Chain A
Amino acid sequence: MSAAPPIQVGFEIGGPLGVIPERVWLAFAVFVLAALLAWLVVRVNAGLLRRAGLPESIEGTAFERTVRGIGTSTVAIISQLSGWFILLLGAIVALSIAEPTYAEQFWSRATGFFPSLFVAVLILIVGVVVGDKIELLLSERLRSVKLPQVGIVPTVAKYSVFYVAFVLALDQIGVATFALVVLLALYALALVVFAVVAGKQLLTSAAAGLYLFLNEPYGIGDTVRIGEERGVVQEIDVFVTHIESDGEEYVVPNDRVFDEGIVIVHDD
């Protein structure tokens, strides 16, 4: 290191500090700026997430409970993630200013990699939280169904979401995920086929029910005949129509209304 006088930057830095080259000062300033920016982004992000009602909507998920257990929260983690990202970027820029030769090589690789890593981590966290939330919501909905085996549905849904998030995250950081994607596609296809085959009747009924809802060709209290059943309409919902006569209540799927048509009886 030569003892050359410090370069003039409007003012003279004297004493022992004067020996530090100016580019180090610049790098230091960049780093401090990045730190400041990171802090600001963390604050703003946390505020925004809180404003958007994130803490309430993910309350009770396993992820939130775990991070609460280690004394932080999902909001804090997500907002701090962006902060760390900016800080890291600042550090790289600062390094490249201070030691151009060393950082140049690192720079080209790292700048490409860090954003994807950041996105991958974000996807993972969002995936885990969404999966947890879906499990929670489903089990809440299914609580009235008193069937022990039904407990598998929320779990399957949760791990499906985890899996998708996992594949997306791996894809982000450039790991070969082709086999996993094929597996996912097969799984999704099976699900669709299953839903269509099993739920065909329900789907057609719901479509017919939608028409009945919008147009209301018959209402509660009308006497109608659908196929062989004749009676007074007691209830219409999306899937079925309840028809009652002489204390017998027929529950007719709505697609039959379209299959066979209905007769509205105007006077007995």
Chain B
Amino acid sequence: MSTPADLLDDLTADLDAVFVFSPSSGFYDRFEELEGEVVVIAPENAVDAEQFVELPLAFENIRDRIRFGVEGAMDRNLVDDGDEVGCVVSVFDGDHDALVRVRADESMHSGVYDLFANSRADPGVIRDVFEVVIELGKKGQKGKPVGALFVVGDAGKVMNKSRPLSYNPFEKSHVHVGDPIVNVMLKEFSRLDGAFVISDSGKIVSAYRYLEPGAEGVDIPKGLGTRHMAGAAVTRATNATAIVLSESDGMVRAFKGGELILEIDPEDY
């Protein structure tokens, strides 16, 4: 007679580290006794854990969430290449209900952690742009789906690799993403054609930009339109990050170095 715990024993055998995603303090206390590494991955370090990776977005997709945690922990040398990691996550709303065993190595590497932590722009700025884009994707403009293209970071170079389509509404303004007014403002401006350019510190430099980087060697999934191509190409020519809201399928995609790094559905947030 064997119990489920016996059968699933090999899931928890020989773990080098345990990652706990967004634990409550009571839940985290249970893990403190554990020998070996315990890493908390959460939007904020509410439990004062020694080892902590900040989660900038509450990734609805479990794979993205775990990838982000593993990459973040590897980047900070909390785990080594090849370590076996047990991730305690909550798949459905509420309590922790799943244990996922992964091996932390290069094949896990999708760049989703680098997208936030090691981009030219401040991590907070990238997160703010994501929030704005997700909001835009959810609500659209007057109920109709809209598309938008935000190029974040390395603004000087981006400006030199683009030209204005019309007068820049943000000229001589000092608006930063994350300012409360910005959501409304960008929603109105999103009907304009062209890209938004945002500086490293989050200042909205320009709207209405026509990006003209060379598109050689940009490899993005077939079927994505010109907006995605322009976004991907500009991240290859500069150190910027592009965050694109697709008008046709409503997905938010992030590009860096000419590659698609992250794809999320705004409806999940």
Chain A residues close to B by CB (< 8 Å): 213, 216, 219-221, 223, 232-235, 237, 242, 244
CB distance from A241 to the nearest CB of B (A): 11
Q: B159: nearest residue on chain A (CB-CB)?
A: A221
Provided the pairs A219-B205, A221-B205 are in contact, do residues A233 and B156 lie with their beta carbons within 8 angstroms? Answer: yes
Closest chain B residue to A247, Cβ basis: B239
The binding surface of chain B is classed by DSSP as mixed
A-contacting residues, B180-208, CB 8 Å: 197, 199-201, 203, 205
* B109 within 8 Å of A (CB atoms): no
Cβ–Cβ < 8 Å partners of B200 in chain A: 234-235, 242
Task: Tell me the minimal C-beta distance from A226 to chain B in angstroms.
Answer: 14
Please tell me if the beta carbons of B172 and A232 are within 8 angstroms of each other in the complex: no
Question: Chain B contacts of A213 at CB under 8 A?
Answer: 174
On chain B, the residues within 8 Å of A233 by CB distance are: 156
CB of B155 within 8 Å of the partner chain: yes
Which single residue of chain B is at the shortest CB-CB distance from A231?
A: B156
Q: Assuming the A-B contacts A234-B199, A235-B199, are A220 and B174 also in contact, with contact meaning beta carbons closer than 8 angstroms in the complex?
A: no
Residue B160 is within 8 A (CB to CB) of chain A in the complex:
yes
| B208 shortest CB reach to chain A, Å | 14
Is B154's CB within 8 Å of the partner chain A? Answer: yes
A220 close to B201 (CB less than 8 A)? no
Per-residue contact bits, chain B 158-174, to A (CB 8 Å; 1 contact, 0 not): 11100000000001101
A220 touches B172 (CB 8 A): no
Which residues of chain B come closer than 8 Å to A232, judged between CB atoms?
156-157, 159-160
Task: A221 to B199: give the CA distance in the assembly, Å.
Answer: 10
Docked CA distance A244–B238 (Å): 13
Most chain B CB neighbours (cut-off 10 Å) among A220, A232, A244: A220
23 contacts between A and B (CB under 8 A): A213-B174, A216-B171, A216-B172, A219-B171, A220-B155, A220-B156, A220-B197, A220-B199, A220-B203, A221-B155, A221-B158, A221-B205, A232-B156, A232-B157, A234-B154, A234-B156, A234-B157, A234-B199, A235-B156, A235-B201, A235-B203, A244-B156, A244-B157
